[in-house]
Chain A
Amino acid sequence: MIPVDVKVLFKNAQPGRPATFDEYCRGGGYQALSEAIRKLAPKDVTRKVKDSGLRGRGGAGFPAGLKWAGIPEKAGFPRYVIANTDEMEPGTFKDRVLVNTDPHMVIEGTILAGYAVSAQRGIFFIRPSYETDAELLERELQVARAAGYLGKNILGSDFSFDIVVHRSGGRYICGEATAQVNAIMGNRPHPIKGGPHMAEQGLWKRPTLVNNVETLACAPHILQHGPEWFKSLAKTETGAGTKLYGVSGKVHQPGCYELPMGTRLGEIIEEAAGGMMRGSEFKAALPGGASTAFMPKQYYDIEMDFEALKKAGHRLGTGSIVVFDRQSCLVAATLNLTEFFVRESCGLCTPCREGLPFIRDLLWRIENGEGKEGFIPMLREMSAHMRHAYCAFAPGAAEPVEGLLLYFEEEIREHISQRKCPFGEHGTDHAETHH
């Protein structure tokens, strides 16, 4: 059983409404910031985050402290911290839940990051469908400002920092850090590669830190209770802290659950999400959103942690688990996911822009009884080639396809040999009209 006191990010959760500023402060909020500003040098804050083993919650799992330390002390000013709230990965909704549960935790985390890298300006980059969250954040930022946690000379120190809410145009690629920076500058949101690093020349060619909001929300707790405590929250050696696992699909109680990092997949499904839906049996799960590969039953007991999944050839991604049962057609599911990626490709590079629609077309034909044996090697080659695309988008998009080919090739063959979907209609015939 999961002990109740493990709640960290959700500790101030209120039923049906966000925690207020007072509630957040009563729970120890803004103490970490006050302490840090009074007693810690920026680099000490970074060191604590580094020691805590916190890894980025946006999907890539890059060590947060390393990223913060990546901004050279001698780098120019002004510097920016971008709190990435552009959550658009299908199956992922944890950031929205977090912002709506405790907006000040996210705000304090962002200010702390700002302090650690000596930034002047924070930006919440938020997708248009989260307009209510944007409004909530704007309102609460005003409260924090009034309380002296934001603005000029925070808490009487010489640290000045303010945060704005930037409403994105709303495309999946804007979640990619370099594309996000382009989007803020009013450019076409293409990812940038091969240029100077963001830590030195990001937004408006200034040092820029981009972190997922969940990552930032961990910072106050690390500072308040120490890196060791944070590390000890996890169930695994390599993990650290708690994780907001989103669970959707064929489970009894879909939702977002805070659990220790490294909680086993089976535990998450059975204990947090109330088990599989009545009458359904586990077949596979996407462990971390649409850009991760299907994990079949053999991984049911895997520890949901960056390292454990990596060892098994998978990715934790955003930790948003999509569960499929034995009645679900995984070809149809993959087709559905691919549809999304085809639509959201920024169009810069060829594999992503043209290759993904080819994959989509093959999957559509397989699903609709037009599949041919020769499609399988083509799918295999093309999805492997996606790793040579410009950014991480296309390789991510290819992951479900690769998972399908690796674990469920038999299911594809059934589609081809039966000249129809063995699971019946799925309503996916709109693919052809998408052109």
Chain B
Amino acid sequence: MPKLIIDSREIEVPAGTKVIDAAERLGLMIPRFCYHPALGSLGACRVCAVKFEEGPHKGLDMSCMVEAKEGMVVSTTDKEAVNFRKYVIEWLMINHPLDCPVCDEGGHCLLQDETVSGGHGIRRYRGKKRTYEDQDLGPFVQHEMNRCIHCWRCRRFYQEFTGYRDLGAMQIGNRTYFGRSCSGALESPFSGNLIDVCPTGVFTDKPARYKGRRWDFERAPSICLHCSLGCNITGSARYREVVRVEAHHHPGVNGYFICDRGRFGFAYANHPERPRRARINGKEVSFEEAIHHTAGQLRQLRDRAGNSAIACLGSPRSSLETQVSLSRFCELLDLADPRFFLDGDVEHRVKRAVSKLDERVAISMREIEDSDFVLAVGVDPIHEAPMLALAMRQAYRKGGSVAILDPRPVSLPFEFDHLPVAIAEMDLCLNAIMKTSLAAAVPENLSREARDFCRLVVAPNAGPTAFQERAIMVGQKLMESRRPVIVCGTEMVGGRTASLAGNHALLLRCADKKAGLFYVLPGPNAFGAALVSAHREWEPILDRMEKGEIRAVVIVEADPFGMAMDQDRWNRALETLEFIAVLDYLPSSSVAKAHVVFPTCTVFDTSGSSFINQEGRVQFSSPLHHGGSPVSQVSKGSHPPRIHLDRVPGGEAKSAAEILSELVSVIAGKEQKMETGDLWAWLTTDAPAFKKLSEFYSKRESFRLVPDRQPTKDFSEAFQQETDLRGDGHMELMLVDRMFGTEELSSHSQFAREAEKPPLLIMNTSDAERLGFTQGSRVSLQVKGVHIEAGLQCVERMASGVMVLPRHRGIPWQKFEASRVSVSVDRIKRLP
């Protein structure tokens, strides 16, 4: 640990720390443009020059290029260094337009800050300014090359960090151009980070253009809800409209970046049809009226048909507060436990995953970056959890390798081994890989359970699997690794795959590897939902509705009538219901069908909500603003009416927890407080896992809510052969997620919608050939009354006998009975 002196202050830093970082630890922000902690040193902008006065390195040099060494004496205020830095700024400003007043970066522009702080104010250069032509980079990123100061961050982020090549540097000298070979939408699903990394206004947020200056915004840290990773974001709002989302640095979760779905998916909060006022049978009413009406209806039904006639539905997108409130609501009213998953199979898999995760194996997303081997099972990172792909790429850049077991045509911005096994083969293939990795040495001193499990894995009768040779090759890489990570999905996997992956992670630890386990779950708070859910087996609500056992449903931030499989059954069951109350902020199908609608708050306008990401990390979001109907700033010719209200227009939404609390009080006929503190206490009596919650909640610090060791036995849950839906003239149809267009919240965002691609059906090239189809053919599928038309995409690298259909808004995917469907090949037709 070298000790050095910077501006007369001593500091000790870890070996390898750059002087610029050492200074930052002392609170000295040495100016920088090209240097970025995530991208590392480059030495191009030369604005971080300091004077090395004593020690092994002498003279003026760049603080980002020199490592801190014992005995160094550094001056950031040395005359020569200051003069040089001043010149660097002057040089950068030679060509920079003085368009700060109309530039969207103005107010939070690094160049602006450094120019002012560097003291450059008078222009001495008398020549003409260089100009460039800008490009249309698609719906997200606005390009204004004239402002470029050539720090190279964009190119380094885009090409080196994320691995996409369609944006780069062209030309040389002071004509160097950063852009694409021609106009066109950026291909990287992480393109929005260009806006954050650009130190000036070359890349600005297109949807947020002209919405305001940084100081106009109401800003707060928040959590991204567009997948289960829980990336940290900063939201900005103005005039009651959420206008922008940026990445918020979190060293354990997302680092400095977020994906484009997370950045541009927020606009569901401003949806013009978002429920803003309570409604009874379509008529706007006061909140109080809606509460009393609902309470009356529920009470009446309960008296008439019994408690079991009322069912409650929650969802994995709700905050933990909402989920727990709903559970408590059911408990206090003596109703059946709420359901948080529309698909029972998914619920089982999520619960299996959650029950496997403990401090021995749980790792954060950033820890994946340091692993030397990532084995991902049943997960398509770019589409299901985009930032995971970026973390995997960093592992790859550091020399690690990645293998994916998934039937889908997984594509990632780096080289990896893809074993396109069907879901039915996944567990066997995973075992085959493990078997190879254990071939050299089965660990000794194993517990009995571990030994039994091990025996099962290495058993010769486990049989050859598809891709045997490649499984062996991957197994060898696993054997050689020191810090392997098993990543496991929960949607496109077998019923026991999540448990198996957990067992393998434990076994790898027995084999002296620092193995990690990383699940990908369906929804930003699926982890919370799994914890809060009752642990007993249950009969699906739909079955009970059909039997007439359920007469009323309370739906909290869920959309069974729009998002559940088997739409027709749901809609038929709907007719048997006497009362539907929906609490939501999305203009969903369920809201449209509800008798009573309560507008709830989004994550951006509710005070304090927490979400548990897929690694079990509880994170807190803060409200940006009060919320309400966005103020229309353009009146299209007529001035908006001047009506003075005693409330914020459209700002009546309450958090679902608050609404449920009020409902309980009214139904029970007495004050029934559901304060968060009480909720946690109540929760802890039932599930000790929640003990940490009350401890950290008041501090609002993020923490991992997983036990040191799971109470269930290690290596429990034997394999279970998954049924193969292929063969015998049949293909398996998988309904999958896509980066854009399938996730519930972002598909309500007008900005994310612009990046959606038309519906498509993906098939292995050889399957397509056999059926006489070619790339781009229009095909139709006719399955049990469901008719689907889509363009065909042929892919070499995916499982055969499988068709992949993204759950696109434009196709009636909800009509299928399950997410895995078997389709007879003669039901697939080519359209003229």
Residues of A whose CB lies within 8 Å of any CB of B are 171, 173, 188, 193-194, 342-351, 353-355, 357-358, 361, 365, 378, 381-382, 385, 388-390, 432, 435
Contact = CB atoms under 8 A, between A and B. Distances in A.
Interface stretch (B88-96, B304-312, B535-543): B88-96
B149 to A, nearest CB: 8
A432 B128 contact: yes
B65 A193 contact: yes
Given A345-B174, A357-B94, A350 B44 contact: yes
Contacts of B377: none
Interface in B61-78: 61, 65
Nearest to A389: B46
B84 A385 contact: yes
Interface of B: 41, 43-47, 49, 60-61, 65, 83-84, 87-88, 90-92, 94-95, 124-131, 149-150, 152, 169, 171-176
Contact of B44 (A343, A348, A378, A385): A348
A241 B131 CA distance: 51
Nearest to B127: A361
Residue among A171, A347, A365, A389 with the most chain B CB within 10 A? A347
A385 B94 CA distance: 16
A194 B91 contact: no
Contacts of A349: 43-46
A408 to B, nearest CB: 23
A345 B91 CA distance: 15
B172 A173 contact: yes
Contacts of B128: 432, 435
A210 to B, nearest CB: 21
B181 to A, nearest CB: 14
Contacts of B169: 188, 347
A346 B172 contact: yes
A267 B45 CA distance: 45
B65 A194 contact: yes
A109 B169 CA distance: 37
Contact of A344 (B88, B127, B172): B172
Contact of B60 (A345, A353, A355, A388): A388
13 contacts: A194-B43, A347-B172, A349-B46, A350-B45, A350-B46, A351-B46, A353-B176, A354-B94, A354-B95, A361-B126, A389-B46, A432-B127, A435-B129
A152 B594 CA distance: 82
Contacts of A365: 126
A410 B224 CA distance: 66
Nearest to B152: A348
B723 to A, nearest CB: 49
B497 to A, nearest CB: 39
A385 B85 CA distance: 10
B818 to A, nearest CB: 49
A357 B46 contact: no
Greatest chain A CB density within 10 A among B45, B60, B124, B127 is at B127
Across chains A and B, which 3 residue pairs bring their CB atoms closest together, nearest first?
A354-B91, A347-B176, A345-B173
Contacts of A435: 127-131
A193 B88 contact: no
Nearest to B176: A347
A193 B43 contact: yes
Contacts of B131: 435
Contacts of A389: 46
Highest count of chain B CB atoms <10 Å: which of A361, A365, A385: A385
A355 B44 contact: no
Given A354-B91, A357-B94, A385-B87, A347 B171 contact: yes
Nearest to A364: B127
B67 to A, nearest CB: 10
A349 B175 CA distance: 13
A194 B43 CA distance: 9
Contact of A347 (B60, B90, B95, B175): B175
A377 to B, nearest CB: 11
Contacts of B49: 388
Given A193-B43, A194-B43, A385-B87, A346 B130 contact: no
A357 B43 contact: no
A10 to B, nearest CB: 36
A355 B88 CA distance: 8
A346 B152 CA distance: 12
Which one of B83, B94, B171 has the highest number of Cβ atoms from chain A below 10 Å of its Cβ? B94
Given A354-B94, A354-B95, A388-B46, 18 more contacts: A173-B172, A193-B65, A342-B173, A342-B174, A344-B173, A347-B171, A347-B172, A347-B175, A349-B43, A350-B88, A353-B174, A354-B92, A354-B174, A385-B83, A432-B127, A435-B127, A435-B128, A435-B131
A382 B87 contact: yes
A234 B556 CA distance: 92
A346 B173 contact: yes
A56 to B, nearest CB: 24
Given A194-B65, A389-B46, A378 B124 contact: yes
Contacts of A361: 125-127
B585 to A, nearest CB: 48
Contact of B91 (A193, A346, A350, A432): A350
Nearest to B45: A350
Contacts of A385: 83-84, 87
A382 B88 CA distance: 10
B616 to A, nearest CB: 40
A44 B671 CA distance: 96
